[in-house]
Amino acid sequence: MKKLRIYLVQPIVLLLAVLFVYFNSITPTMHIPETIQKEATIALEHFPSLKDVPIHFKFKKNIKKSVMMAQPTFGSFFRSKKKRGYVILISEKFKINNQEFKTIHVPKDVLIGWLGHELGHVMDYQQLNNWEMLIFGIRYVLFKEHVKSAERNADLFAVKNGMAAYILKTKHFILDNADIDPLYKKRIKDFYLSPEEIRELVKEIGE
């Protein structure tokens, strides 16, 4: 039985070692689609500490419960956090009053605010090692309170990096639009900083 366990474990260890070497031999790079080049560049300028962090902005057909989502790339789990790369997934379309609109067609400042929030997530992730990132992901899926904490932290990072005006425009675009899905509005109200909280933060930090 012991020999069988060793026989089964050895290939797994070898595979992990190969993956570790392979992904550490690849240098991730920044990628921004041309259609959001200006907006992403403006958002990134507010996060100088992410200047050398590889972030891949990528459009996706649909993202459940959200318009955008930031996460580490798969290969990053085989690197140290200093070498970690990220992908920001952007839903190609979203619905207003049961009609689909392209995300790139929202007002420029609203799109910048959305991207800024996702970069806030990247700032949050940069503090975590790989094991902590794994635990973070599990808790995000299982616990609503962790979702709330993560989303509010992302807003907080964005506001502290000078993006309050953009974040507020994104909030008002969602919350003040009568035709946006009420369930999505509820999620924004339940899990994210409110416009009032953001204004209070701005006063506190003197932006």
Tens digit of each residue's pLDDT (9 = 90 or more) over 131-157: 888 889 889 889 999 999 999 999 999
Q: How far is CA 168 from CA 11, 24, 194, 196, in A?
A: 51, 39, 9, 9
In a domain, 8, yes or no: no
167, pLDDT greater than 70: yes
In a domain, 16, yes or no: no
Task: Output the pLDDT for position 155.
Answer: 97
Q: Which domain holds residue 141?
A: 28-205
In a domain, 6, yes or no: no
In a domain, 74, yes or no: yes
Write out the H or E segment, with its range, that includes residue 13.
helix 2-25
Mean pLDDT across 160-179: 92
Mean pLDDT across 8-21: 46
In a domain, 195, yes or no: yes
Mean pLDDT of all residues in the chain?
Answer: 84
In a domain, 23, yes or no: no
Percent of the chain with pLDDT over 70: 83
In a domain, 22, yes or no: no
- Write down the residue that tokens 């959200």 correspond to: 66
Total domains in the fold of the chain: 1
Write out the H or E segment, with its range, that includes residue 113.
helix 108-125
Mean pLDDT across 102-122: 95
pTM, entire model: 0.83
Q: How far apart are CA 179 and CA 205, in angstroms?
A: 34
In a domain, 21, yes or no: no
